[in-house]
Amino acid sequence: MGKDAVVRQLQARRPGTRFVVTATTRPLRPGEVHGVDYLFVSRAEFDALIARDELLEHALVYGEYKGIPKSQVRDALAAGADVVLRVDVQGAATMRRLLPGAVFVFLVAESEHALAHRLVSRKTESPDKLLLRVATAREETRRMAEFDYVVVNAQGQLERAVDQLCCVLDAERCKVARRGGPLPQL
């Protein structure tokens, strides 16, 4: 199970958590739902989102465009919700500049071999794309220190990964700097 499974399970446990649905130009895969997994748009529609300044950030990823809709982030933050974004390391660097108070979690497979096995078993990528994805993951792992937390999503350990994410959320809420007001008088 990958990042999407972790996010779905996190939302099941923490219903107030908002997942921002990324816009993408890539085709829909079997089992995916428009508006739930991604906002599947044409290249022309994606260009229009950029032209209207409706994306917080966007990038070319594995040959397809992906971007974070501003309105979803703005609405979730205004509601006081915990907001989950699915971005690569470049997107995280952009988000760190735009949202300096945000917390960044690097979600990683237990090994490069395990990641390759998951990608192959999905049967959604060509051999060339598989190699590119594994090489990209290897490079991204080298930037893990740019994140606040690391959560390992090991095969068969989905609950453990979600437990750790819940711990991150709880710990961040308890930080004095995040409380937003004076401490109660004791």
Q: What is the mean pLDDT of residues 106-121?
A: 87
Q: What is the 3-state secondary structure (H, E, C) of 9-33?
A: HHHHHCCCCEECCCEECCCCCCCCC
Q: Bridge partners of 108?
A: 152
pLDDT of the residue at 178:
63
What domain range is 8 assigned to?
A: 3-175
Q: Is 29 a catalytic residue?
A: yes
185 domain-assigned = no
157 domain-assigned = yes
What's the rounded Cα separation, in Å, for the pair 150 and 163?
Answer: 13
Q: Is 179 a catalytic residue?
A: no
Choosing from 14, 26, 118, 133, the catalytic residue is 133
Q: Confidence class of residue 182 from pLDDT cuts 50, 70 and 90?
A: low
pLDDT of the residue at 144:
94
Q: Confidence class of residue 185 from pLDDT cuts 50, 70 and 90?
A: very low
pLDDT of the residue at 69:
96
Q: Is 118 a catalytic residue?
A: no
What's the rounded Cα separation, in Å, for the pair 99 and 83?
Answer: 12
What's the rounded Cα separation, in Å, for the pair 169 and 174?
Answer: 9
Quick check: 180 pLDDT over 90? no
183 domain-assigned = no
The domain that holds 90 is classified in CATH as 3.40.50.300
pLDDT of the residue at 101:
86
Choosing from 43, 74, 122, 178, the catalytic residue is 122
Q: What is the mean pLDDT of residues 35-39?
A: 93
For residue 40 the two structure tokens come to 């599947």
Choosing from 29, 43, 173, 179, the catalytic residue is 29
74 domain-assigned = yes
Contact indicator for 79, 18 with CB cutoff of 8 Å:
yes
User: How many distinct structural domains can be found in the chain?
Assistant: 1
